[in-house]
Structure 1
Amino acid sequence: MSAPIRSRRLARSRNSVFFGVAGGIAERFGWKPGTVRLAFVISCVLPGPQFLLYLLLALFMRSPEKY
């Protein structure tokens, strides 16, 4: 039996905590959602627009109903 094929497109996750962005990124690349969330939280202590990028991804990533 072959492994399921992951979508090549980036979409928010149905299993979401905050908009499903971290879950969608994790599903797309085969990572654990907790790892992506932790990396985002740690990155917020660094200077830069991480929070704005997260909000932009939440707005522009496809919703989970469309896949």
Structure 2
Amino acid sequence: MLAAHAKGLGTCWIGLARAWLSDPSVKTELGIPADWHPAAPVILGHPLALPAPTPREKARMVWCR
């Protein structure tokens, strides 16, 4: 996803698609080998606009001895 972003592409992890992609009839239709198992379905495309950066909190350092 980071590599796609670096190329100006948009991505979205579609975790709910794992069960659907595991269905034998779907694997056959999409040409996915039966012994392959989906791990992280991701859609990829050209975004109409880039979203604003996510605000980050200042890092907090905690030392334990």
TM-score normalised by L of structure 1: 0.25
Q: Which has the higher strand share?
A: 2
Higher normalized helix content (fraction of residues): 1
Which has the bigger relative contact order, CA under 8 A and spacing at least 6? 2
